[in-house]
Amino acid sequence: MDASKGMVAWAKENAAASGLADRPVRWLVDDCMKFVQREQRRGNHYEGIIMDPPSYGRGPGGEVWKLEEQLYALVEMCIPIMSENPLFFLLNSYTTGLSPAVMEYLLGVLLQKRFGGKVSSGEIGLPVTESGLVLPCGSTAIWES
C-alpha cells in the first residue's frame, strides 16, 4: 500500500481533532510535479501551499525523485499557481542534510523576492516523555505574507 495514503488519513484525523474537518482542505495523493503542471494548465490558484515532499521515491514509470535535486524546481513551479496575494507556503522535510537554513533561503529567494512578507525556519521534533528532551526529526520553513 502507498504510504502517502496512510499519511493523508492521519492528516484528516488530525484536522478533525483540531475542529477543521469542515474546512476547504484538498487532500491529494499524486505525483507532485505532475499535479503542479496540471494546475498550471487549468489556471488554478491557491492562497496557501503546505508541502511535505518525500526524500526519495520512484514513480510508476521508474522516474526517480530525489528531494535535494528537485526541491528548488518544485517550489519554483508552484509560484504560478499561487494567487496574486498568497498567505503562506509551508515546507517540511525529513531529509538528513537539508537544514532549516537551506529551506529558509530557498523560500526567501523564490517567494519573498516576489511577494514580500517574511520567511522563518526551524527544526521539527518529537518530545520524549522519559527524558524531557526533543528528538529532532526534520526541518520546516515557512514564507508568510
All structural domains of the chain, each given as residue ranges with its CATH number in brackets, are 23-144 (3.40.50.150)
State yes or no: pLDDT of 132 exceeds 50.
yes
What are the residues whose beta carbons fall under 8 Å from the beta carbon of 99, sequence distance 6 or more? Answer: 139
Cell of 121: 525556519
Query: Which of the two residues, 21 and 104, has the higher pLDDT score?
Result: 104
The pLDDT tens digits of the residues spanning 40-76 come to 999 999 999 999 888 888 877 788 889 989 999 999 9
pLDDT at 90 over 70: yes
**pLDDT value of position 9:** 86
For the chain, state the CA radius of gyration.
16
- Residue 1's pLDDT is 35
Whether the Cβ atoms of residue 110 and residue 75 lie closer than 8 Å to each other: yes
- Tens digits of residue pLDDT in 1-28: 355 777 888 888 989 999 988 988 878 7
